[in-house]
Structure 1
Amino acid sequence: MMYFKQIFIFLVLLTVSGGNAYSQVLDLSWKHIVQDMDASWYGTEEAQGIANTVLLYQKNIGGWHKNIAMHKPLSEEEKQNLIASKPDADRCTIDNGATYLEMIFLSKVYKKTKNEVYKSAFLKGLEYLLEAQYPNGGWPQYYPLRKGYYTHITYNDGAMINVMSILKDINEGSKDLGIKVDKSTLERTQIAFNKGVSCILKTQYKQEGVLTGWCAQHDEITFQPAKARAYELPSLGGVDTAQIVLLLMEIKNPSDQVKRSIEAAVTWLEKTKITGLKEERYKTADGLKEKRYVQDVTAKPLLARFMNLEDNAPFFCDRDGVKKASIMDISQERRAGYAWYNSGPNNALKKYPEWKKSLRTHSNNENYITVAQDGSGDYSSIQDAINNCKSFPYERITITIKNGIYFEKIHVYEWNPKISFIGEDKDKTIITYNDSFNGVNLGRNSTFHTPTVLVEGNYTQFKNVTIQNSVGDVGQAIALSVNATGCVIEHCNILGNQDTLYLTGEGNKQWFRNCLITGTTDFIFGNATSLFTDCEIRSKSNSFITAASTPQDTPFGFVFKDCKLTAKDEIDKVYLGRPWRYHAKTVFLNCNLGAHIVPEGWHNWSKTDAESLSFYGEYKNSGKGASTKNRVTWSHQLSDNQAKVYSVKNMLGIKSEKEWLQ
């Protein structure tokens, strides 16, 4: 609300004061004014006058309409009409530079003037871009969504690449941008950019299994090349591909997948470029604009705007949507009024050798690897680091992870045991993804496909990191799944909702030390033997903490020692656990149980047989939820001798975690 009040007051003053100075810029294009003026000009009265007009055109949702000459002066009536139309969001878009150009202009004026109104408008535009992004990382042409081809993931005319360029500048704290964002917003822009890169990689088109380039539009569901206007058929695009490649080449210390994508796209651009052809523009005897292409060995290479998906052959199209092999076979209106060839992609080809040369070499010591998003490490992707680790190493491998938000699914494979993942700061080194049961949609067992981090390598260690499933409270969605033995998770945040932490594998043993684990329902579940010491177990709703499925002949299931069970005041009905399978075993020893723990303590999950077959125990717990007076009769209050059985040695077969971390 503060933003709207601030802008409203400013605009009222603007309409009263009037008087914008536009004399120097009326003959220039809006794009030229945004991108090509001398830096000092953006602090002038003339620039501020244009910035005030940009504010008038911004809609309440944060975006702008397209094809507007923002630098043209407005009458008082036009200003009032724009203020009245601010709730109209239907035509807000990123097409033809819209929203992108306005945000860049405001940032440049703010940098010179420090007028907070311009910064607020920029941040409102940023919120619009973040909201418009699809969960798969792409951006539609229009948001709110409009029916038709406007919903496709749009690379055409730099739409999505413009958005990602802004996000990149924010993430890197670009001095050219001149606007800093708060920590929370920065985390969101980093996630959005990483998701955008993921979408780019998924949409890169393959011909007979070989990566090539990209189309102007891709279907937002299937990622396949998609049709737009009648003469814009599904095809490969040289201009769009070059713009994407230029963006990817700006990523510091790119992942191996990004490198492969760039290599393939550049190979394709080299293969499809057209040499010895020059465009000439002229007027006919009737005064019509025309163009033709003539042979010229000195001409810069050209790329066709549209190429067949099957064989890369250029094609041309009239408004009837019929492909033609020659530009001379389409109407004069389409021939002269559309950019069918472009030399712009040469920039990508020129930059490629420099990019190739700049790639850093990895550390000579294969047992010590650094992952950093800012390019200061050996890899920018955690999974890439794992993929390049030695299989079944004799010595432990340490992967140090610098602060950042790593939006990726991590899989520590069975052949990658003895890896330590050490974060720089547990609250700032964040591994996150957003898969859920309904999101992956792989049948009745979809839950097990949702982990952000899946560990199958024995003797894995995670320390000083946050592992989260960020999908929200939408049902089963695992943050961390451990199907391995000898694993130590310490000083970590494990964050989610339902089914946050899955611990599995008969005979597998794991140790969680000084961790925060959050969730709603059954958020610690599985059949492994897992010890939790000095952890905070935070319930986010009235429900169940544990759902063990301990095998019948396994002596220990989930054991909590010296832990704190916490929740917000409004949460007041949480059970310690319920049996996922009949022989479930869960014990709390010397823990502090908050008032949210129900007096009965445990639930049988409507399984009467589980009351005699399962084992739920407590020993010397404290706190408002620790009273055993009204506990279910089938739970156990341990004696001193019984409690002694729950030693690290008995449960895990080791004296200290060092035995697992050698």
Structure 2
Amino acid sequence: MATSSIITSPKNMSTAILIRVDQSGQGDYTKIQDAINSVPSNNSELVFIWVKPGTYREKLVVPADKPFITLSGTEASDTIITWNDGGEEGSESPTVNILASDFVGRYLTIQNKYGKSGKGVALRVSGDKAAFYGCRILSYQDTLLDDSGRHYYKNCYIEGATDFVFGNGASLFERCHLHSISEGNGAITAQKRESPLKNTGYVFLGCKITGIGGAILGRPWGSYSRVIYALTYMSGVVQPEGWNDWGDETKQKTVYYGEYKCYGPGAKRDKRAKWSHNLTNEEAAPFLNKTMIGGRSWLRAAPTQFNKTSN
């Protein structure tokens, strides 16, 4: 997938400019958005925004012209970004909007408290090459708009009731915990791939699925929707049929929904939708590493040296 503009990469990937956000006034800024705003347009240096513990009631945007930003807490449980917005236009509601490429989010809780009234996106990721580590992403309907680009989520907790991972990203979720709070039969994913030529889709590798009611693994927002669960624990919250065609039987012939060596009471395949796939070793192989997202070329280690901002 091509990015919309030419990005100049930092020359030194181990050193970052450090910006501190602290509500007590002991940092460079007291608001996260002010710290983001301080990064120059067409940024070509690593910027590490360290958010001290607290509850930040902000609606954040990382603009497309500000790549190479890391937004990091220390623990997700005590560094909380929260807002309350929603409605039918899910793209308007996100608490956190990532429009830039080469973004990293670490150890944050990102929350939309809109509740059961409609779509309330907590996190929208529309930039290419974005990675999230140890984050908690919380809402009810449409929690994570994994919109477009290549993305990597590791050790994240994602909670919702309806279509709570949705969009048309090419994304790998590794060792993540998906928790359904649907009291009925909610869908975990609604992936929007609309052409067999597009390399998009969601892969859940070594994940865990829990919940309080019933849940299906996915339904097709796009005709060529693609979702794979591999080596994933499925609790009894996963319904026996597993997958749903969203009322359009023609999509049964075009979607690609697969499972590979999943386990737990919800992983039994005897009553699964007949048009879903029980993948062989060979079929699963392309989805068991970072190849689909090209991760080896862009995933980066956290910086080890910091230069303080001049502010």
Identify, as 1 or 2, the structure richer in helix: 1
Taking the TM superposition and a 5 Å limit, the aligned residue runs for 1:108-187 are: none
Q: 1:433 to 1:567 in 2, by over 3 A?
A: same
| Residues 286-321 of structure 1: per-residue CA shift (max 9 Å, x gap) | xxxxxxxxxxxxxxxxxxxxxxxxxxxxxxxxxxxx
- Structure 2: how far apart are the matches of 1:417 and 1:434? 26
Q: Do the aligned partners of 1:538 and 1:566 also contact (CA within 8 Å) in 2? A: yes
| Residues 149-204 of structure 1: per-residue CA shift (max 9 Å, x gap) | xxxxxxxxxxxxxxxxxxxxxxxxxxxxxxxxxxxxxxxxxxxxxxxxxxxxxxxx
Aligned-partner SS, 1:393? coil
Partner of 1:596: 237
Q: Do the aligned partners of 1:604 and 1:611 also contact (CA within 8 Å) in 2? A: yes
The structure 1 segments of at least 4 consecutive aligned residues displaced by more than 6 Å after TM superposition are none
Q: Do the aligned partners of 2:131 and 2:299 also contact (CA within 8 Å) in 1? A: no
Partner of 1:394: 44
Partner of 1:536: 177
- Cα distance, 1:407 vs. partner? 0.3
Which amino acid letter does the alignment assign opposite residue 487 of structure 1? A
- Cα distance, 1:657 vs. partner? 6.2
- Structure 1: how far apart are the matches of 2:95 and 2:218? 24
- Structure 2: how far apart are the matches of 1:576 and 1:523? 11
Which of 407, 413, 436 is the matching residue for 2:63? Answer: 413
Q: Do the aligned partners of 1:486 and 1:660 also contact (CA within 8 Å) in 2? A: no
Which of 203, 208, 221 is the matching residue for 1:564? Answer: 208
- Cα distance, 1:447 vs. partner? 1.6
Alignment pair present for 1:614 and 2:255: yes
- Cα distance, 1:660 vs. partner? 8.2
Alignment pair present for 1:496 and 2:139: yes
Taking the TM superposition and a 5 Å limit, the aligned residue runs for 1:92-103 are: none
| Residues 78-119 of structure 1: per-residue CA shift (max 9 Å, x gap) | xxxxxxxxxxxxxxxxxxxxxxxxxxxxxxxxxxxxxxxxxx
Q: 1:654 to 1:661 in 2, by over 3 A?
A: farther
Which of 518, 535, 542 is the matching residue for 2:159? Answer: 518
Q: Do the aligned partners of 1:423 and 1:465 also contact (CA within 8 Å) in 2? A: yes
Partner of 1:461: 104
- Cα distance, 1:471 vs. partner? 2.0
The structure that has the greater radius of gyration is 1
Alignment pair present for 1:577 and 2:218: yes
- Structure 2: how far apart are the matches of 1:631 and 1:549? 21
- Structure 2: how far apart are the matches of 1:409 and 1:394? 25
Partner of 2:272: 631
- Cα distance, 1:457 vs. partner? 0.6
- Relative contact order, CA 8 A, sep 6+: which one is greater? 2
Q: Do the aligned partners of 1:418 and 1:661 also contact (CA within 8 Å) in 2? A: no
Q: 1:649 to 1:515 in 2, by over 3 A?
A: closer
Q: Do the aligned partners of 1:522 and 1:544 also contact (CA within 8 Å) in 2? A: yes
Which amino acid letter does the alignment assign opposite residue 459 of structure 1? D
TM-score, scaled relative to structure 1: 0.42
Which amino acid letter does the alignment assign opposite residue 567 of structure 1? G
Alignment pair present for 1:487 and 2:139: no
- Structure 2: how far apart are the matches of 1:480 and 1:545? 15
Which amino acid letter does the alignment assign opposite residue 146 of structure 2? L
- Cα distance, 1:567 vs. partner? 1.1
- Cα distance, 1:661 vs. partner? 6.7
- Cα distance, 1:656 vs. partner? 7.4
- Structure 1: how far apart are the matches of 2:30 and 2:289? 37
- Structure 2: give runs of 5+ residues left out of the alignment: 1-14, 304-311
- Structure 2: how far apart are the matches of 1:454 and 1:394? 20
- Structure 2: how far apart are the matches of 1:498 and 1:658? 29
Alignment pair present for 1:368 and 2:11: no
- Cα distance, 1:609 vs. partner? 1.2
- Cα distance, 1:366 vs. partner? 8.5
Q: Do the aligned partners of 1:499 and 1:525 also contact (CA within 8 Å) in 2? A: yes
Aligned-partner SS, 1:427? helix
- Cα distance, 1:551 vs. partner? 3.3
Which amino acid letter does the alignment assign opposite residue 565 of structure 1? I
Taking the TM superposition and a 5 Å limit, the aligned residue runs for 1:310-321 are: none
- Structure 2: how far apart are the matches of 1:402 and 1:523? 28
- Structure 1: how far apart are the matches of 2:302 and 2:130? 8
Taking the TM superposition and a 5 Å limit, the aligned residue runs for 1:13-162 are: none
- Structure 1: how far apart are the matches of 2:264 and 2:298? 29
- Structure 2: how far apart are the matches of 1:366 and 1:510? 21
Q: 1:392 to 1:647 in 2, by over 3 A?
A: farther
- Structure 2: how far apart are the matches of 1:485 and 1:378? 28
Q: Do the aligned partners of 1:509 and 1:529 also contact (CA within 8 Å) in 2? A: yes
Which amino acid letter does the alignment assign opposite residue 575 of structure 1? I
Which amino acid letter does the alignment assign opposite residue 535 of structure 1? C
How many residues end up aligned between the 2 structures?
Answer: 286
- Cα distance, 1:431 vs. partner? 0.3
Taking the TM superposition and a 5 Å limit, the aligned residue runs for 1:100-499 are: 367-437=17-87, 446-499=89-142
- Structure 1: give runs of 5+ residues left out of the alignment: 1-364, 438-443
Identify, as 1 or 2, the structure richer in strand: 2
What is the Cα-based RMSD across aligned positions, in Å?
A: 1.6
